[in-house]
Structure 1
Amino acid sequence: MKVSSKRKLIINIALSIVVNGAIPVLVYNLLLDHFSSFISLLIATLIPLGDNLYHLIKFRKADAFGLFMLIGFLLSLAAFVLGGNERLILLRESVVTGLLGLIFIGTLFFGKPLIYHFAIRFSAGDESEKKGQFVKNWEVPYFRFVLRLMTAIWGIALLGDAVLRVILVYELSISTFLAVSQMIFYGVIGAAILFTIIYRRYAKKRLDLIIHH
């Protein structure tokens, strides 16, 4: 079961990279012979949006990434209305990613950090007993430290991704940027997920020792 789940996860990640990275690059280059660079890029960037809308309709629930893609699309239209060029369209994802990073960091100063809300939603789910234990653990200083550290790491990772891609959008050709942009994004997200998994295991063992002593 675990092998099957891992294989399914790898396939989903690969498909996501193809849909959000490879296909937009291909479409952009094919459309250049018929449309301006700006229009070609705008059409190409609608593909990831369409993919996320498909999943939104299929599963009938909004996910963070889909909503950010929608925000990105609206930013693209704003760039067009304001006379923006293709570079501004490419910047939209970095703006959304950067804003998300700032939200992560901002929650460190107001109540419970964002990772707390994510964890209680996806870890505890609807099981009231687990949820109650999670809420109780918040009273432990080490538990609060762990969640705040995770939140800070995710915030820094997302901000770093945004800054790097803002720099590269003006250093690389549009075609090259489209090709490497998603790899950078998934690389950063992958590293943050790996850190979260490893650190969570370590922190859980230490938390168990603290609670039972």
Structure 2
Amino acid sequence: MNKSRNEIIFTLIINLVLPYLAYRLLIPHTSSLIALSIAALVPLCDSIYSLIRTRKADAFSGFIFLGLILSVVAVLLGGDERFILLRESYVTGIMGVVFLGSLFFSRPLIYYFAERFTGHNPQMNDKWEKLPRYRFNFRLITAVWGLSLLLEAFIKVVLVYSLSIPTFLAVSSFFTYVIIGLTIWWNIGFIKRIKRQTTGR
């Protein structure tokens, strides 16, 4: 358990904390494009290391890397004030589409995230092959995250073209925190409920 928890913490630090810190440290001294590009190198290196070590592509690091690359593309596109304000939400919306699109593949994106956090536990593959409910749960979580990300992006687009820019800046973060917070709350509750049903406690 401790090993698994440590691996999860390490993965989150490498793929989320370090890119964010790199970006925040670099942005006062260089352009957004360069700061984002350097930040993207962290999850890219982790993906390459994981590929060499396990001979399997690391979906989680790849997903974070994709998000950073899309942010770089959004910076390159430029645009007016409102488009610039929506850059993060365009990326969020594309990520939502990626989540939903993965439902059409043999295994959804959340499965590969869970596999990374459990250290590629072979029991996961056995359960996936044998238990229809197990497969349904992963697909449901993936669908909920995909729809939540799309909803966040949609609300931001509506707000930015309905409100003044100062008002948008004042309220937009609230909607992001509420939607993502509710999704995380649901995700944690859903997993706890599954564990209770499995253990009978």
TM range (shorter): 0.5 to 0.7
| Count of residues in correspondence between the two structures | 166
Q: Structure 2 length normalisation: TM-score?
A: 0.66
Q: Structure 1 length normalisation: TM-score?
A: 0.63
What is residue 177 of structure 1 aligned with on the other side?
A: 168
Does residue 93 in structure 1 map to residue 88 in structure 2?
Answer: yes
Higher relative contact order (CA 8 A, sep 6+): 1
Whole-Å separation in 1 of the counterparts to 2:65 and 2:173: 15
What is residue 161 of structure 1 aligned with on the other side?
A: 152
Does residue 118 in structure 1 map to residue 125 in structure 2?
Answer: no
Greater gyration radius: 1
What is residue 103 of structure 1 aligned with on the other side?
A: 98
Q: Is the 8 A contact 1:142 1:207 kept in 2?
A: no
Whole-Å separation in 2 of the counterparts to 1:54 and 1:108: 29
- Using the TM superposition, give the Cα deviation of residue 66 of structure 1 relative to its aligned residue in structure 2, in angstroms: 6.0
Over 3 Å counting, the alpha-carbon distance change for 1:190 and 1:65 in structure 2 is farther
What is residue 147 of structure 1 aligned with on the other side?
A: 138
Does residue 68 in structure 1 map to residue 67 in structure 2?
Answer: yes
Whole-Å separation in 2 of the counterparts to 1:55 and 1:112: 26
Secondary structure of the residue aligned to 1:171 is: coil
Whole-Å separation in 2 of the counterparts to 1:57 and 1:107: 24
CA displacement, residues 63-95 of structure 1 (integer Å, 9 cap, x when unaligned): 5456424422322321x3xxx211111222222
Secondary structure of the residue aligned to 2:107 is: coil
Q: Percent identity?
A: 39
- Using the TM superposition, give the Cα deviation of residue 154 of structure 1 relative to its aligned residue in structure 2, in angstroms: 0.4
AA aligned opposite 2:113: F
Runs of 4 or more consecutive aligned structure 1 residues displaced over 6 Å after TM superposition: none
Whole-Å separation in 2 of the counterparts to 1:180 and 1:50: 27
AA aligned opposite 2:127: N
CA displacement, residues 85-139 of structure 1 (integer Å, 9 cap, x when unaligned): 11111222222111111111111122111111111111x125xxxx111111112
Whole-Å separation in 2 of the counterparts to 1:201 and 1:187: 21
What is residue 125 of structure 2 aligned with on the other side?
A: 135
AA aligned opposite 1:86: E
Gaps of 5+ in 2: 1-8, 10-15, 48-60
Q: Is the 8 A contact 1:68 1:96 kept in 2?
A: yes
Q: Is the 8 A contact 2:96 2:147 kept in 1?
A: yes
Whole-Å separation in 2 of the counterparts to 1:187 and 1:66: 25
Does residue 187 in structure 1 map to residue 178 in structure 2?
Answer: yes
What is residue 50 of structure 2 aligned with on the other side?
A: none
